[in-house]
Amino acid sequence: MAAAAFLLASLCTSAQAGGSTRKVVLPSPQLIHCRAADCSQLWKQDSSDGGIVYPAQVLTDFVNGEIVGLTAVYDKSVTTEEIEAAVTALYGAPLKALPNIWRIESEQLVISIYDGKDGAKQITYLKIGTFGSHVPSAHLYMGKPFKKPAWLP
């Protein structure tokens, strides 16, 4: 993760909502499935322009050394519409049946946007895979051993 903080990718997406134009910087989906330092570009867009909005926090989920999910948290000044516009500019419209959810088969990931605590907005990237590919082999012991939910295959 430390190496990812030093690298930036190209391409910047403009998002317009509420009459103002800002550039919302999205995490790079190339981080999903990443196992080596050479694929650790943190940002999807170029950050050299002015008027850009970075996430306040980026959280990653690792399973067996592979990033299987990441969540970017934007502060409450960033609107859901701005984030939606940035994602739509890169991937097209969200799923019709599920607003704020994109399924990108070519990159084997799903993206969702939702409201977090205190007005913060969150965008989550999750690898498309099996239950076993998302569960660590060594679980953190939280008082009870992990048990797969009965409704999952």
Query: Whose CA is closest to 109, among 146, 139, 66?
Result: 66
Look at the chain and count its residues. 153
Q: What does the pLDDT look like over 10-35, one tens digit per residue?
A: 223 444 445 557 788 887 777 776 66
Query: Whose CA is closest to 14, among 57, 45, 58?
Result: 45
Q: Share the mean pLDDT of the chain.
A: 74
pLDDT over 90, % of the chain? 27
Q: For residue 62, what pLDDT is reported? A: 81
Q: Which residue has the higher pLDDT, 14 or 7?
A: 14
Q: What does the pLDDT look like over 119-140, one tens digit per residue?
A: 999 999 999 987 777 776 555 5
Regarding beta strands 109-115 and 121-127, do their DSSP bridges make them parallel or antiparallel, or are they unpaired? antiparallel
What global pTM score does this model have?
Answer: 0.66
Q: For residue 16, what pLDDT is reported? A: 44
User: CA 57, CA 137: separation in Å to the nearest integer?
Assistant: 26
Mean pLDDT value across residues 48-67: 80
